[in-house]
Amino acid sequence: MKGLIGKKIGQTRIFDESGESIPVTVIEAGPCYITQVKTVKKDGYSSIQLGYYEAKEKSLNKPKLGHLKKVGKTLRVLREFLINDDEKYKVGDEVNVDIFDLGNKVNVTGTSKGKGFQGVMRRHGFHGGQATHGQSDRLRAPGSIGASSDPSRVWKGMKMPGHTGDETITVENLDVVKIDKKENLLFVKGAVPGAKNGILKLIKAKV
């Protein structure tokens, strides 16, 4: 098994044997439950679907409840992970933080914090216009966005104001520096996308 679903608990720091401070993100990794096994013969590829975060039955719709009937749990979050051998797994099996070891590198995927509508200085890091020579309302404006006669249009992909954040982001090759198997906690070096309690997908990195 190469991955898990988790929840971002927050950020803190720990100290290694030499006393050096290491910034870490604490992730509640599992427990997850196998909700579906896909095989090459039936589906054309091998994967397993994991479920995480038990919720009240009334918060799930009927199709999802029917899908989870064999598992016997009302799991809100479902994610799929590719595997090599589909014969090793069966629906209902529990998967927890034991699949990771100290020193592993993981890729963490989450949804970044939404910032709403932002201007070009906040969204793209523009410097803004000069504050002298008669300028009064151009301090945070983008400036010219194209020529007039040719091409007489704005090029596609131009950096403009707009909705910022709330995107799927993957941070790769984060080191696992501590594991608390009793509480299913994973401590990874550095920051991961999203706010506290955000749902994360963790996959062992290819080294």
Q: What is the pLDDT of residues 123-172, one digit of tens each?
A: 999 998 888 888 888 899 998 888 888 888 999 999 999 999 999 999 99
Using DSSP, state whether 2 is helix, strand or coil: coil
Using DSSP, state whether 205 is helix, strand or coil: coil
Confidence of residue 48 (pLDDT cuts 50, 70, 90): very high
DSSP of 27-88, one letter per residue? EEE--EEEEEEE-HHHHSS-EEEEEEEE--GGGS-HHHHHHTTTTTS-EEEEEEEE-S-GGG
Q: Using the 8-state DSSP alphabet, how is residue 193 labeled? A: S
pLDDT at 207: 67
Q: Using the 8-state DSSP alphabet, how is residue 126 labeled? A: -
Contacts for 103-106: CB closer than 8 Å, 24+ residues apart: 103/175, 103/176, 104/175, 104/176, 104/204, 104/205, 105/173, 105/174, 105/175, 105/176, 105/204, 105/205, 105/207, 106/173, 106/174, 106/176, 106/186, 106/188, 106/202, 106/203, 106/204, 106/205
Residue 85 pLDDT > 80: no
**Mean pLDDT, the chain, whole residue set:** 91
pLDDT at 168: 96
Confidence of residue 118 (pLDDT cuts 50, 70, 90): very high
Q: How many helices (H) and strands (E) does the chain have?
A: 3, 12
Confidence of residue 16 (pLDDT cuts 50, 70, 90): confident
pTM score? 0.84
What is the per-residue burial (b if ≥16 Cβ within 10 Å, else e) of 134-167? eeeeeeeebeeeeeeeeeeeeeeeeeebeebeee
pLDDT at 151: 84
Region 54-63: what's the mean pLDDT?
90
Query: Distance (Å, rounded) from C-alpha 181 to C-alpha 97?
Result: 6
| Structural domains of the chain ordered from first start | 3-115+163-204 (2.40.30.10)
Region 111-117: what's the mean pLDDT?
96
The tokens for 121 are 């200085």
Confidence of residue 87 (pLDDT cuts 50, 70, 90): confident
Residue 1 pLDDT > 80: no
pLDDT tens per residue across span 189-205: 999 999 999 999 999 99
